[in-house]
Amino acid sequence: MKLATGIIGALSLVSVTLSAQTYPLSENFWSSSDFQNRVMGSYGVHSELEPKLSDEEGQFFKTLMTVLEANLEQGATLLEDRISTESSAAMDFMLGTIRMQLGEMPKAIVSYETAVRKFPNFMRAYKNLGIAYIQSNELEKGVEAIVKGMELGGADGLSYGLLGYSYLNQGNYSSALNAYSLAIAFQPNSKDWKLGKIRSLIELEAFEDAAGLVSELIADDSGNHELYLHQANIALAKENLNVALANLEIARRLGKGDENSLFLLADIYSNRGMYALAIDAYEEALGATEKKGKRFDSLSRAISSFIENGAYEKALRLNEITAKGLGSSIEEEQRLALLNLKAEVELGLNNSDAAALTLEEIIEVDPMNGRAILLLAKHSWKKQEFEEAAFLYQRAENIDTVASQAYLQYGQMLVEQKEYAEAAKKLRRSLDLNYQSNVADYLRVVEEAAQRG
């Protein structure tokens, strides 16, 4: 994906336009009156280029229409009994269209395929076959059938729009843009085609054109939350967080904020130091999350960010919200991670005794929890309980994930005790495991102190 997903750390774009997904048509598209009128409004023969009904079939068709008005399924059964290898392709077309109306796409596809085999230039059958394929998410076959129908003279807004939809979902964004532009020329009031064009423009990074079209749609439909999410995506791609935040908040206030947009909104608030607003958004986002555990990393990162910026009370509140939101679904590893973060908050609030109790709880459950051991060691160090701190640092040195940090902190404690030679050994070991230029500089200073005796 080409859009800027790395803006301010963990920020990511809203799923309405991004990530591996289906770009949907509006939820009522397939059942809309316009769609019914264009595709399913009649079953008869309308062109000299289409197959004819025999006189007998014509009489049957009149009876069939009466039955269809009362019961589509009964009409389908009646029609199916009359179809044979010798019957007109128009009969198969009728059956396919009834099956489409009943939502029976596999059966509709079979009937339309039979119709075009019987009558290879059956334009409307190709068009409806393409629609049935697309509704079944067989996009390549759908494109092939619709293009064939257009070659036979069936080019219209619906055909171009569905081509755009198919190309967009296949990742062919330039072709999608061209198709949607033509669809709009035929059907200038179609929201679906305009939304599809917006998505195509965003994927092609034509952000100004996309923004103009979004603004045009918002002017006509200011209550459509999806438009504000599009506008937020465009703003993020242009690294304009003010505009992104405003649009995400509008979508939220319309009552349409979803998990992704709410987490993004919360992340932006967090990165701006607007912690109270961030907490509200995180809590709402967690409530909108079905599999809450998958969001744990986002929440723990946010808590860590609060701590790093000294917002300890807010970090504690978000920690509590996360634990409560995860509820019984919380994994033991996640519970321990939250306890670690709680201990960091308690240390930040100078409540070191409470922090020590929390850390001891963690270590009792998970004796190899390096992060907790380091925090407890630092607590002992700051209380000048050097022997206890040394014991804990030595324990942490044997845990791969924190060994480098353990050697570093142990060395720093030894420097404070003016044991420079021993401190230098610890710092060198830290550098062996994880080279950092600032630590290397620090080591040189310590070595000089050791030489001076």
pLDDT (average), residues 38-50? 55
| Tens of pLDDT, residues 348-383 | 998 888 989 999 989 998 899 998 999 999 989 988
Query: What residue segments make up the domains of the chain, in order of their start?
Result: 25-154, 267-366, 368-453
Q: Model confidence at 405, in pLDDT bands (50, 70, 90)?
A: very high
Amino acid at 15: S
Alpha-carbon distances, residue 103 vs 61, 64, 73, 97, 166 (angstroms): 22, 19, 11, 10, 20
Q: Does domain 25-154 have CATH number 1.25.40.10?
A: yes
pLDDT value of residue 207: 92
CATH for 267-366, among 1.10.287, 3.40.50, 1.10.3470, 1.25.40? 1.25.40
Q: Is the model more confident about 394 or about 23?
A: 394
pLDDT value of residue 445: 95
pLDDT (average), residues 140-162? 95
pTM over 0.75: no
Evaluated on CA atoms 74, 76, 81, 82, the torsion sign reads positive
Q: Is 22 helix (H, G, I), strand (E, B) or coil?
A: coil
CATH fold of the domain at 368-453: 1.25.40
- What are the respective helix, strand and coil percentages of the chain, to the nearest 5? 75, 0, 25
| Tens of pLDDT, residues 57-109 | 888 888 888 888 889 899 999 999 999 999 999 999 999 999 998 989 999 99
